[in-house]
């Protein structure tokens, strides 16, 4: 099972699920239990609200978050007042959320807390930078809204991917869907030269020429393909898309006479279905990223909100066979 040392190598780590009820909070509590006397080296927060006893959507029981003594945590004023532990306030930010300002505190005793951190990824990036200035080695982010955007390497350095029966009650289908995301996470990076040239481009579609130039194709979004002036490949077969990659774009590129290499900022920008992605690859297409995400572990929750329970050993075994990495049922391991 992965240990705190595996996580402390990174400045920040997001725990992200493929759906609600895939065991993110169970995974987080496993990490918090294992922290032990290293708790002071971690900080803890969330996007959205997490730590409730009951899931508001599915009305199923959820594990509460137990913060160990010495750990820094960030939550809203409302939930700080409702905490069930003794804590020392370190800072109250000017940033407002729907539940009040954000309170940064250190747990003096172990106890329960509801987490409600920054409302958006920009605020989260600033918070992680502030934690580093406080001497925190790693900030843990619980992805309460199951947003893969939290795992963007522009937000957090590393990630744990939580999957399970809530995604699909069929093991083969669950493995298929998880493998697709796993492959996106592992997309190869472009070289440093292209990273330097493309880093500052925030929108649009651009041609990357053979002589190393970046040419504007005057297409603000791939959702406006029908308005493109001429062929997207008029300057070569390599493109950079700064925004989202859709099914429509991959289908369009798949129909070109020459195989296309597509460069995107990171895996979280790909919103295409697996069918479109694999069809693009079969035609010789290739996708690379400016920044690759670091996957620390894959965890599974074999129990669905409906009450369906998958065979945990079989699920882990088949997932490991497909991904070629260790896969953990955190609840059993804990």
Q: DSSP labels for 272-330?
A: --HHHHHHHHHTT-EEEESS--EEEEEEEE-B-TTS-B--HHHHHHHHHHHHSS-EE-H
Same domain, 167 and 100: yes
State pLDDT tens for residues 212-224: 999 998 888 777 7
Number of domains in the chain: 2
Residues 242 and 314 in one domain: no
Say whether both 172 and 209 belong to one domain: no
Last residue of a domain, one of 289, 304, 324: 289
**Residue 205 shares a structural domain with residue 275:** yes
Q: How far is the C-alpha of 65 from the C-alpha of 63, rounded, in Å?
A: 7
**Tens digit of pLDDT for each residue in 230-257?**
678 888 899 999 999 999 999 999 998 8
Q: Are residues 160 and 273 in the same domain?
A: no
Do strands 111-112 and 66-67 pair parallel, antiparallel, or not at all (unpaired)? Answer: antiparallel
Residue 36 has pLDDT above 60, yes or no: yes
Same domain, 167 and 279: no
DSSP-derived 3-state class of residue 249: helix
| Percent of the chain predicted with pLDDT > 70 | 93
Burial class (CB in 10 A: 0-12, 13-18, 19+), 33: exposed
Cβ atoms within 10 Å of 224's Cβ, excluding its own: 10
Comparing 124-128, 234-238, 246-250, 284-288, the range with the smallest average pLDDT is 234-238
Q: Are residues 165 and 300 in the same domain?
A: yes
171 and 310 in a single domain? The answer is: yes
Please determine, for residue 150, whether its predicted confidence score (pLDDT) is greater than 90.
no
To the nearest 10°, the Cα dihedral for 151, 157, 162, 166?
A: -10
* Residue 63 pLDDT exceeds 90: no
Residue located via tokens 């930078």 = 129
Mean pLDDT of 3-9: 90
43 near 135, Cβ under 8 Å?
A: no
pTM here? 0.90
> CB atoms < 10 A from the CB of 255, how many?
8
Burial of 179 (0-12, 13-18, 19+ CB in 10 A): middle
- The number of helix segments (H) and strand segments (E) in the chain equals 10, 18
Q: Whole domain around residue 245: which residue ranges?
A: 192-289
For residues 181 and 236, membership in a common domain is answered with: no
Asked which of 255, 273, 289 is the last residue of a domain, the reply is: 289
Q: Between residues 61 and 93, which one has the greater pLDDT?
A: 93
Same domain, 231 and 139: no
Cβ(305)–Cβ(21) below 8 Å? yes
């Amino acid at each position: 099972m992965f240990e705190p040392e595996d996580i402390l190598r990174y400045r920040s780590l997001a725990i992200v699920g493929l759906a609600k009820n895939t065991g993110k909070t169970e995974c987080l509590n496993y990490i918090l239990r294992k922290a032990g006397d290293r708790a002071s080296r971690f900080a803890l927060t969330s996007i959205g609200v997490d730590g409730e006893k009951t899931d508001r959507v599915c009305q199923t029981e959820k594990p509460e978050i137990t913060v160990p003594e010495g750990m820094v945590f960030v939550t809203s004023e409302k939930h700080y007042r409702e905490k069930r532990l003794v804590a020392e306030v370190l800072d109250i930010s000017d940033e407002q959320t729907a539940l009040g300002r954000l309170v940064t505190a250190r747990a003096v005793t172990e106890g329960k807390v509801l987490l409600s951190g920054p409302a958006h990824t920009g605020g989260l990036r600033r918070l992680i930078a502030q934690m580093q200035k406080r001497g925190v080695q790693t900030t843990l982010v619980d992805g309460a809204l199951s947003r893969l955007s939290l795992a963007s390497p522009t937000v957090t350095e590393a990630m744990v991917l939580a999957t399970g029966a809530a995604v699909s009650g069929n093991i083969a289908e669950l493995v298929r869907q998880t493998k697709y995301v796993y492959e996106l996470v592992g997309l190869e990076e472009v070289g440093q030269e292209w990273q330097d040239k493309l880093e500052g481009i925030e929108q649009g579609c651009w041609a990357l020429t053979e002589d190393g130039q970046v040419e504007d194709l005057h297409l603000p979004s791939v959702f406006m393909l029908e308005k493109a002036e001429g062929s997207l490949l008029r300057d070569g077969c390599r493109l950079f898309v700064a925004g989202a990659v859709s099914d429509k774009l991959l289908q369009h590129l798949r129909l070109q006479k020459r195989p296309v290499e597509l460069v995107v900022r990171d895996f979280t920008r790909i919103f295409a279905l697996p069918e479109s992605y694999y069809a693009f690859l079969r035609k010789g297409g290739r996708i690379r990223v400016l920044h690759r995400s670091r996957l620390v572990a894959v965890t599974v929750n074999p129990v669905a909100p409906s009450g369906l329970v998958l065979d945990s050993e079989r699920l882990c075994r088949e997932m490991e066979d497909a991904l070629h990495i260790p896969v953990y049922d955190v609840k059993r391991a804990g």
